[in-house]
Structures are given as structure tokens and as C-alpha cells.
Homo-oligomer: A and B are copies of this chain.
Amino acid sequence: MEASPAGVWPEAVVPHDRRRTHRNARPSRPEREADTVPEQRPLNLAALDAHWRAANYLAVGQIYLMANPLLTEPLRPEHIKPRLLGHWGTSPGLNLVHTHLNRVIKNRGLDALCIWGPGHGGPAVLANSWLEGTYSGIYPDIARDAEGMGRLFRQFSFPGGVPSHVAPETPGSIHEGGELGYSLAHAYGAALDNPDLLVTCVIGDGEAETGPLAASWHSNKFLDPVHDGAVLPVLHLNGYKIANPTVLSRLPKAELDSLLRGFGHEPAYVTGSDPQEVHRAMAHAMDQALDRIAALQHAARTGQATGRPPWPMIVLRTPKGWTGPAIVDGNPVEGTWRAHQVPLASVRENPGHLRQLEAWLRSYRPDELFDTDGRPTAQVLDCIPEGNRRLGATAHANGGLLTRALPVPPLEHFAVPVDKPGATTHEPTRVLGGLLAQIMADTAERRDFRVVGPDETASNRLSALFEVTGKAWQADTLPTDEHLAPDGRVMEILSEHSCQGWLEGYTLTGRHGLFSCYEAFVHIVDSMVNQHIKWLKTARRLPWRAPVPSLNYLLTSHVWRQDHNGFSHQDPGFVDHVLNKSPEVVRVYLPPDANTLLSVTDHVLSSRDYVNVIVAGKQPCFDWLSMDEARVHCARGAGIWEWAGTDDGSRAPDVVLACAGDVPTQEVLAAASLLRRHLPDVAVRVVNVVDMTRLLPREEHPHGMGDSEYEALFTPDKPVIFAYHGYPWLVHRLAYRRSGHAHLHVRGYKEAGTTTTPFDMVVRNDLDRYRLVMDVIDRVPGLAVRVAAVRQTMADTRTRHHAWIREHGTDLPEVADWTWTD
């Protein structure tokens, strides 16, 4: 039972074979730039230091200056911004990494992307982007000259300007720097299926304390050295968070080393505060790491090694706020938490602070770095690579440029035949599995489609996927294992955070995917999806950002079928959560059967820049619509099911039974059937809603209905009994402006507690067929008195159900065996 040792990997540094290991990531191009990689150049420490100093100067300038950017005159209070915002502490470290990445990219002709975990050090990434010219390329009014530098400074965290964090507006980024924890998962997501890409990931030692980051170290057990690119983590131990030391920076070195080796890495340490020594050590560590990566990839790709290699990483231990003020007002600042944000806080008011700021800025010797027109000198620019190799210009950070439409086969190949509604049942997600498997097969060469999930792909009945691909796995295997494969494109780890982070990184770099998750536990990533939606909302407004594939959720094992797992597994609130977010980004679908699930999935997989949430069951479900009907119904998003009601169209119905979600749809149809039998003279209309946002007013969401369309479905004044999949008030929140709202009565889930059979779940929530019939009787004027006996029958059946399940452990036979027979 003990695991076997890892495969044999080259222990020593192996000569660097550029041609093999740095071929271009886009194999469709006829000529590979990497074939013309220049020879390595000698280490020019002076030039590297000049670049670093220039970036530091520009970072400080952005935080403080609104005029006099080149210090052509002594600094005066009116040159200083009235509100000082931004994070200095992490900036010099980020600048160091960027400078040294520039060097190796240029030297080796790398295709590289960098994820800046401490992205609140926005000034650093902006400074580098400006230095390499990508910033001016995208934003021409911020030119690489004195005037542009002045604008660069002024716009930073200033009204009408740019955010203080790395953000969609920042060239070269796919990672917002505000909420911490997701950098490493994003890096792995970007590296997947990009075999020639180097993804460097700077991880702050604060961020390293978060759960999502802690989990994502194990991503290297899922990275295929043959088909995926490399991730080079740079753990930046600058020692402090906002107000505290960081845990990792205060471990004995041996303990930290043990931890990082336990994560499957071979760490190299770059430690110091003397710039020259650190430059030398960093250049050496980067070269060693990249040589090692090249050797590992070469060994894997030539079949000389299999299994999981020990990947290199760098631990960069430099002072927080390095090169900033050492002491301010008598307190140590450089190398402490006090350097986190704005080290000199009262520059306008305090002449001492003003002088200290000027000395700090001049310590970088700007006159050596910029000519009198503000242009960086040749020495500063020496390390910067050309064209799209620049970190701010890589297409991987503007992934829509690389996106190819996903080949979705004809749905008819997978659809279930439906001659009449409700005559058969299928497990919708199992049907969907067939479609996903075909897409997976059709992208076997392209490798731009992945399915992720927390160990639930089979449980969620998508196992057809395993007929065409494996589950990514680089750790050890045993003979009894099934479907594990180093190059598999289904990814399963029991971490919703890692799944979400991988898929974000994968889609933001232009590829396609689906996250299949238990409905209740997708709340684990609430905060991550918040940030992704914010990213997409902002990115959509930037004309230079190409649309990227949507992030698609399939939420299954949903609230209504948790008779197995109970209360902890019941939560339909993710829909509520995303519907609080920007309407131009969020879409929510509740397909009621297998064919509608196919249609909706087809739609979301071809969409761009959305977060699509599909909620669909995995348990057997009646087939209501043929594939053609499903397409039409899903395109409308909501519609009348004439065949299910008794509303003949000649007059308004007496009542509307509305439904959204598979289980509510079944109960509504069963209620309609009971009404047809017991109350044949009541005209019932059945409305099914697939696209929840259709209920919103048109001015609130692009899919919203106008009032006349809404009233044509729901009537302006008749009682509407709405059986909804989730918390009932969501429907009220969407529809409260409608004229008929006072007549809307919603049944849904209300924190029921433990239940133990499927029908018991709906009864406990008053969403069952009998309760719905009682609702109709109670709300259609005049009915209650006339049909009191029918109402009593319904109530009695519910009582009988209660006793029956306690005795037999199963649902009432008339419920368990019910079929739609009308």
C-alpha cells in the first residue's frame, strides 16, 4: 500500500534544448519564432539594475506625483496628489521579478506569462508595462515620454484613471490583485494545454496563508510535462501582511524547505537586501530553474522519464518596501509592515516628509534612467524583449485572441426521442455526458476543452467522458485505478477552489471548459466567482480585450435530491448570489429535462464573456420536450406548455401554474394532471421558465421581458402559482415590478432540514403536487367553497404520505409510480 517512488528524472542540470522545449504555443503557425531564438547574452547587471531602478521610480511616482514627474524642479506640495493611495511594499519585489523575467524571455525567446499574486502592487506592473512600451501601445495618450509619464502618474488611483491593483485595464494580466489566494491556480490553468508556455507566478507570503492558495500547491500533481506548459512559482517572502508578519517568513528555513519539498518542488533561495547581490542570485536562480524546466520537459517529451517531476521554484526573500524610506518619524519602515501601503503619508502637509520623498525618488538617479524628454535610456530598455514576447503584450493574457470556436456536434446525435411528453425518463446529466464526450473527442488534437470538478464527474453521471479521455493524474497509480491518465482532460481534485481557479485561468487564456459541481458546495467559490464576474464586466468595456469563452457551471446533485446526504447538501442560493452581479455577465438556466439541458449547454459553450449557471438534476427525469421543441423553448427562455394545461386559448386561464427547475416542473405537471382530473372546468395554463433572467424587466437585464410579453405569459391579473427550484423570494425579487405581482405566489426551498425520500423533500417545502392543487383552490376566486372535498382529499394524501414513509421508507406508490398520461 506504500506509494512507489516517483519516476526517474534528470537530477543534474541538463543542457538546454531550445528547439524542443520552447517551440511556439500555436502549432498552426507555419514558422515558429522559437526556431530563431538568439544566443544567450552575457549578464549585464548594470542594465538590469537600471531597469529595476526605473521601475521603482515609476512606482513611487504613481503613488505620489500629479506633476513634476521627472523632478526637473524641487518637489513642492502642489506636485503631490491630495489623496495618497496604493501599495508600495510589494512593488520593488515585483519590479525585480519583472526585470529578471524580461532578461530570460529575451535571452531564451520564451513564450511567457506572469501571474502577479500580489497584484495590489499595481504601480509595479504598470511601471513595467510602460517601460516595455506595451502600455503606450494600448493607451496612446500615455506615451513613453515625459508627458506620458506625467499622465501615468496622475491617472493612478485618481478619478477617471486606473485602479490601484492589477486589473483588466492592465496589459498582460489575467489576474486581479484585490482578493488574494487564486494566483497559483490561475497560473496552472493558463499552463494547461500550452506546452510551450512558461507561466511564472509570484505568490505573496500573505496570499500564501489563504486556503485556496494552500490547496493549489498540489496542482503540480495534475500538470502533464508533455502536453502542458510549465509553472514557475516565485514565493515572495517580504515578511509582512498589512500589519503582521507572515507565517511562512517566520518558519525556520529547514521547516519551510521541508514544506516546499513536500509540495513537490525543488526550491532555490534568493535572499538579501543588497541589490547587486540579489540581481546576481536572481539571475542565477532563474537560469537554473529554466534550464531545469527545459530538461524535465525534454525528458518527458522524448519518453526518457514518466510520472511527476520535481518542479523547480524560487523563494525570493527581500525586504518589504525595499529601497524605500528606512525610517519615518522615528519608526522603522523598510523591511517592516509599515511599508505596506504609503510609507510617507503626509507629504503635502509635512515638509520633512516632502524632503524625504524627494530624496527617495532621487535615490534611483532618474537622470541616468530617462532622457530629458522622459524616454527611458537604452540601458534601461536593454533587457526588454521584443514584440509579443513582452509580458504586457502576450496574447495569452488577452486569451480571446487565441480562442477557436468549440466544435459542438449536432445535438440530435445525443438527444433522447420524445414522441409524447413524459412517456420516458432519462438522467439529464448522463445524456449530457454523451455530448461532452463527443466534444472532448473532437478536441483531442486541439486540446482546448476541459471539464473540472471536485471528484464528482462520475457521481454527476458524466462518465461517458472517460471513454474518450482520462482524469489528469501525475501522482502514483495502482493496478486497480481506473481512468487515470497523465494527459487526461477531466480534472478532479477535492477542492472547488482549485477547480474554479484552474478553469478561470484556462478560459481567460482563451480555452473552453465546464465546471461540474454539487449545487450546495459551489458556494465555496462564491467569492471567486464574484471576482471573475467583475473581471469580465470590466474587460467587456475595454475594446482591446477580445471576448473569452464563458465560465460555465453545471450544478447538479441539487437541493431537491439530497435525500441521501441531508441538510448540509441543500443550498440553491448560488443563483441568488450571481444574480446580484452585473447583468451583462450573468446567465442562469434551469432546463427541465434532458433535451433542454443539451440545448442550453450548446448555447453556453459557444457564448463569450459570460458566467453561465446551469442547474440540472442527475436523477431520472421525465422527458418533456423533443429536441426541436427544446431548442425553440430554450431560445425563448420561457413559454406556455399548451399540452400540459387546460387553457384552450379562447379566454384567459383561471390560474397559471409556473415552474422553473426539473423537480418543480414535475410537481407542476403532476398538479396539472390532478386538476384536470378533479377540477376539469378550471382553465389551467402551465408556463415553464428555463432562463431565469427573462423574468427581469427588460431595462434590468439584456434577456429581460417587456411587460406585454410578461403579461402574455403570466396574465396581468390571474393567480400565478410558481413552483421554483430555489429560495422563493428570488422570483419576487425578479418580478416585483410586474403589474401582476400581487397575484404571484411562489413555492420554493426554505431550509427544510434533513429529509429522507425525494417526495418527502418536496412535501416538507410545500412544493408538492397536492399542495400546489390546494394553492390553486385557495387562490382562484370562488373555488374554495365549491371544491372543499377535493381540497380535503389533497390534504389527506399529504397526511397519508407522512405516515407511509415512516413505515416503509419509500414514497407513496401513487407518487413513486406516477407518470404523465394525459
Binding site for B on A (CB under 8 A): 1-6, 66, 81-83, 85, 120, 157-165, 167, 176-181, 206-207, 209-218, 221, 239, 241-247, 249-253, 255-264, 271-273, 317, 319, 332, 335-336, 455-459, 471, 473, 475-478, 480-481, 484, 492-498, 520-521, 523-524, 526-527, 530-531, 534, 537-538, 563-569, 571, 573, 576-577, 580-582, 727, 729-730, 732-733, 736, 741, 751, 753-754, 756-757, 760, 805-806, 808-810
Contacts and interface: CB of A to CB of B under 8 A. Distances in A.
A523 B521 contact: no
A529 B501 CA distance: 22
A38 to B, nearest CB: 36
Overall SS of chain A's interface: loop
Contact of A255 (B261, B531, B534): B261
A666 to B, nearest CB: 19
A479 to B, nearest CB: 9
Contacts of A2: 253, 271
B258 A261 contact: yes
Given A250-B475, A336-B480, A732-B733, A317 B264 contact: no
Contact of A214 (B207, B215, B273, B332): B215
B475 A1 contact: no
B180 A494 contact: yes
Contact of A573 (B246, B577, B751, B806): B577
Given A159-B806, A218-B247, A520-B530, 18 more contacts: A2-B271, A3-B252, A82-B810, A157-B566, A157-B756, A159-B757, A163-B567, A178-B569, A181-B211, A242-B455, A242-B458, A243-B455, A251-B475, A258-B262, A262-B262, A335-B480, A523-B530, A537-B751
Contact of A160 (B241, B271, B729, B806): B806
Nearest to A541: B753
Contacts of A582: 751
Identical copies in the complex: 2
A307 to B, nearest CB: 10
A732 B736 contact: yes
Given A159-B805, A164-B565, A262-B261, A245 B210 contact: no
A92 to B, nearest CB: 15
A459 B493 contact: no
A249 B209 contact: no
A693 to B, nearest CB: 13
A246 B206 CA distance: 27
B215 A178 contact: no
B566 A163 contact: yes
Contacts of A6: 252, 255
B3 A565 contact: no
Given A211-B212, A259-B259, A567 B179 contact: no
Nearest to A249: B3
Contacts of A163: 566-567, 754
Nearest to A255: B262
Nearest to A216: B211
A258 to B, nearest CB: 4
A751 B580 CA distance: 8
A431 B527 CA distance: 30
A753 B533 CA distance: 11
A211 to B, nearest CB: 3
Contact of A566 (B5, B165, B257, B263): B165
A348 to B, nearest CB: 11
Contacts of A164: 564-566
Contacts of A243: 455-459, 492
Contacts of A263: 259, 262
Given A243-B458, A476-B252, A207 B567 contact: no
Nearest to A492: B244
Interface-centre pick from A3, A458, A534, A732 (highest chain B CB count, 10 A): A3
Given A497-B211, A567-B538, A581-B751, A520 B480 contact: no
Contacts of A478: 245
A521 to B, nearest CB: 6
A809 B158 contact: yes
B527 A524 contact: yes
Contacts of A458: 242-243
Contact of A475 (B247, B258, B471): B247
A760 to B, nearest CB: 6
A760 B751 CA distance: 39
A290 to B, nearest CB: 23
A253 B6 CA distance: 10
A808 B256 CA distance: 48
Contacts of A336: 480
16 contacts: A6-B255, A82-B810, A159-B757, A164-B564, A178-B565, A179-B568, A181-B211, A244-B471, A244-B473, A246-B494, A251-B262, A255-B261, A260-B262, A537-B753, A573-B577, A581-B751
Contact of A247 (B120, B221, B249, B805): B221
A760 B157 CA distance: 13
A216 B573 CA distance: 26
B810 A568 contact: no
Contacts of A176: 568
A526 B530 CA distance: 12
A460 to B, nearest CB: 10
A564 B521 CA distance: 32
A-B CB proximity, top 4 nearest: A259-B262, A178-B568, A211-B211, A214-B214
A174 to B, nearest CB: 14
B167 A571 contact: no
A774 B56 CA distance: 47
Contacts of A272: 1
Contact of A3 (B83, B251, B805): B251
A210 B3 contact: no
Contacts of A317: 1
Contacts of A496: 210
A568 to B, nearest CB: 3
A730 B727 CA distance: 13
A259 to B, nearest CB: 2
A211 B565 contact: no
Which of A1, A120, A272, A538 is the most central at the interface, judged by chain B CB atoms within 10 Å of its CB?
A1
Nearest to A214: B214
A217 B120 CA distance: 26
A369 B249 CA distance: 54
Nearest to A585: B751
B165 A568 contact: yes
A457 B531 CA distance: 24
A252 B480 CA distance: 18
Nearest to A248: B218
